[in-house]
Amino acid sequence: MSEQHPKDDTTHFGYQTIEADKKQAMVADVFHSVASKYDLMNDLMSFGVHRLWKRFTIDMSGVRPGNSVLDLAGGTGDLTKKFSRIVGPSGRVVLADINSSMLNVGRDRLTDQGYVGNIEYVQANAECLPFDDNSFDVITIAFGLRNVTDKDAALRSMTRVLKPGGRLLVLEFSKPTNPLMSKAYDLYSFSALPVMGKLVAGDSDSYQYLAESIRMHPDQETLKGMMEEAGLVRCSYHNMTSGVVALHRGIKP
């Protein structure tokens, strides 16, 4: 299942239906706008819980010293920073993001904190990754897949650059499993987030888009099926915070 529709070549930008070839630029505008306040907004929006979600992702990745890791849509570098410490001087971490503003914020932040030596920074489109086949032991994409125009193409591209036995981990907002949580989450997302975005980042429209993009993202079972279609095996997912977020994991055979 893909977000693109071959007959009319349209896709979703939040709740809007737009021409597929315009989505990338529209998403880029969102992240150019929010890049400088991205980390602060993440802490405020999730009450800091995003750090626990990311820690669980690292734990589930099985990353070891000497591994090669791709942190896709890595933004400001939360996962890259932790992976850099784990893989050590014999490993490498590639922080890749399609958005130059996010990539610059991440590079400046990690360099200022002394993370140099085993980290590379690459501006890359998830749908056509500029890496050789069988390059990475682990790929993570955290809160980025829902912004990709053709998710199926991106999953195929990630599978291609994984080494046999390599692991893909997709951390993303998903469908809450509890009806009460779902109602509370909707109210929070569509009432509080745009207001918070306006007050903190000076941009309510971008956070309205983020709330809508979460609702348009495939649910847990659908995404699991998409990963299997891309060629991954032993695909599974783990719900966190009552399914507000899910971590999907698949292995390249």
Query: 158-189, pLDDT tens digit by residue?
Result: 999 999 999 999 999 999 999 888 888 888 88
**Helix H or strand E encompassing 235:** strand 233-240
Domain containing 160: what range? Answer: 25-177+209-251
Query: Is 87 within the bounds of a domain?
Result: yes
Q: What is the DSSP letter of 5?
A: B
Whether residue 97 is annotated as binding a ligand: the answer is yes
Query: Is 197 within the bounds of a domain?
Result: no
Query: Is 29 within the bounds of a domain?
Result: yes
pTM across the whole model: 0.85
Query: Is 129 within the bounds of a domain?
Result: yes
pLDDT value at position 186?
A: 85
pLDDT value at position 1?
A: 43
Please, are residues 54 and 142 in contact by the beta-carbon 8 Å criterion? yes
Distance between CA atoms of 47 and 232, rounded to whole angstroms? 33
Whether residue 132 is annotated as binding a ligand: the answer is no
- Residue 145 sits in a domain whose CATH number is 3.40.50.150
Query: Is 245 within the bounds of a domain?
Result: yes
114: its two tokens: 């002394």
Mind listing the pLDDT tens digit of every residue in the chain (253 residues)? 444 444 458 888 667 786 888 778 766 666 666 566 566 666 667 778 898 999 999 999 999 999 999 999 998 899 999 999 999 999 999 999 999 988 999 999 999 999 989 999 999 999 999 999 999 999 999 999 998 999 999 999 999 999 999 999 999 999 999 988 888 888 888 887 777 778 776 777 777 877 788 888 999 999 999 999 999 999 999 999 999 999 999 999 9
Query: Is 140 within the bounds of a domain?
Result: yes
Distance between CA atoms of 218 and 93, rounded to whole angstroms? 28
Whether residue 76 is annotated as binding a ligand: the answer is yes
Provide the number of structural domains found in the chain: 1
Please, are residues 150 and 127 in contact by the beta-carbon 8 Å criterion? yes
